[in-house]
Each structure stands twice: as C-alpha cells, then as structure tokens.
Amino acid sequence: MHFVKYHGLGNDFIIIDRFRGPEPSFREELVEDLCRRGFGVGADGVILAEPPLSSGDARMLIYNADGSQAEMCGNGIRCLAAFLKEEGHVSANPMNIETGAGVRVVEVLEKGESGRMVEVDMGLPDFYRPSIPMEGEGNQAVGVPLEVPGKTLVVTCLSMGNPHCVIFVDDVQGFPLENLGPSIEHHPLFPQRTNVEAVEVVGEDRLRVRVWERGVGITLACGTGACASFAAALAENRTGKRVWVELPGGELDIRLGDGGHILMRGPVVEVYRATLSEGWLKTRSPRKG
C-alpha cells in the first residue's frame, strides 16, 4: 500500500491516493495500527484522497487515530489540498473539497521557509446545541458550567464541522488537559464525543492553545480547534477579528472573513512517500494492552 506522509504544524497525516482507483490493501480496521507510533507509520489520522461525489474538485475522508471517522479536519484538509495540487489531481485554485461537514474552499499559496502555505475557508461557527451536538438546556452553551470529576469548569461549546469544548484559562501550560481531556471528550452531554481546547488569551491578536483531540489525545496542533478557540473568544469579546494562534507545533493565522466565515492560514509539509511492506499488512502491529 502506497502512502504519503504530510504534517501541518506537527499535526500529521497518512494520505492514501484513491484518485487513480481504489487501494485494495486499505481497510478501515487498519487505521488504528497505521497511526500507532512505534509499531505502524505513526500519525494523528488517515486521509483518503478521493474524486468528488458531486460538484466539488475532490473528496476527503478522514479517520482519527483510534479508527473513528471524523467529519472535518482543518490541518488535514490543508495537507490534502497541497497533496492534490502536487499530484496534479486538481488544477483549480482555490479548490472545493467535499467533507463530512460540507464543501470547504481551500487555496494553495506560496512556499515559505516553514512549508507550503495553505488557506482554508472553515465556514461559519455554529453555537446551536443540536448542531454541536450537545445535550442540555438552552439553545447555546457560551460560558456555561460543565461538571467533571472533582471540579466545575466554565466552557463555551460549538461546532466547526465537528464538536468543540473551549475552556479559557489563565495558564494553558498549567492546565491539566491530559487528565481532564478524556473526561470531557466522553462527557454524557456530548453524544458524539468532543474535542477539547484549553485557551489562554495572550492579547487582542494572540491566543495560546492546547488541544485534546477527539479520538487522538493531545496533539501538536488542531486546525478546527484553533478556529473554535478564535470563534469562542470572539463570542465572549476576548479578541479582535484577526489572531495568531500559538500551538505546540507552531502558529496559525486566523481571521474573520466575509459573512462571518472563519479563514485559517498556515504551513504544510510533505514528509515522505513510502510503501507498507506486505509482511506488516499480513501481521499488523501488536495490540495495546
């Protein structure tokens, strides 16, 4: 099985090209093993690059590292756009990529010292509880209490095509995201689980963010998480209309566009191209536990 490895600020993905036809060796049950560091390729997710189903230029299917399928991934779609451009699968620029959260418009820009710059229109943030989805009273969950083991947090929840729970903190490095992330991800108020962002407001144009990604855990970066953090900060009047979001893997440039759409720009890098050995595919990797 052939694949290409990309990353956006350390948020890394295995991209499998299905433009030239189905990849017979790929099976959904391989995703967890493929992403398992030390025993497989190692990645935060697997992306299938596919021809469009309808009016788009391409289609993205994305799996989290635990094998679950995600609706949308901001860094993943930026990596995919660069891959599609590099392979010559899509000549349009900007391009329309179909996702589980709808069509996203992505533009591949110039190459810089940190990689190929790619901008994506992430669409409108959605704070309506049923859209997230999130159980509970009221139409929205902006600055509301959330009970977790041992404490009560104040959170703002929304959808960026996938669910997010944003927590504003004084010190993002000191916040116990490793301990609280799993409890929040699997909280009964989130029927489809949720991503979790700890956000420190550094200034009117700067946020510092750490992310517990649904189905993955702590990641070096998360595009939808960065956008959700920005949208939540705007909703609570904590920032201006353009911010730099500092993540452990680097920075993203995020701003408010026309009609309230959120635009995200940042670098992506092709890491390597490779072929999985037949031996690995036959035996797969040892299971955890």
State the catalytic residue, choosing from 79, 165, 222, 227.
Answer: 222
Whole-prediction pTM value?
Answer: 0.91
Phi, psi (degrees; rounded to nearest 5) at 104 = -120, 140
Catalytic-residue membership of 73: yes
Q: Which pLDDT score is estimated for 199? A: 98
Mean pLDDT by groups of 10 residues along the chain of 289 residues = 96 95 86 94 97 95 96 96 96 97 95 89 97 96 95 97 97 96 98 98 97 96 97 97 97 97 97 93 65
Catalytic-residue membership of 222: yes
Contacts of 147 (CB under 8 A, 6+ apart): none
Whose CA is closest to 245, among 263, 229, 262, 268?
A: 229
Structure tokens at 88: 């010559």
| 109 bridge partner residues | none
State the catalytic residue, choosing from 73, 157, 165, 227.
Answer: 73
Structure tokens at 135: 């159980």
**How far is the C-alpha of 101 from the C-alpha of 169, rounded, in Å?**
29
**How far is the C-alpha of 125 from the C-alpha of 131, rounded, in Å?**
10
Task: For residue 65, give Cα distances in angstroms to 33, 108, 145, 212, 262.
Answer: 8, 26, 30, 13, 26
Structure tokens at 39: 């025993």
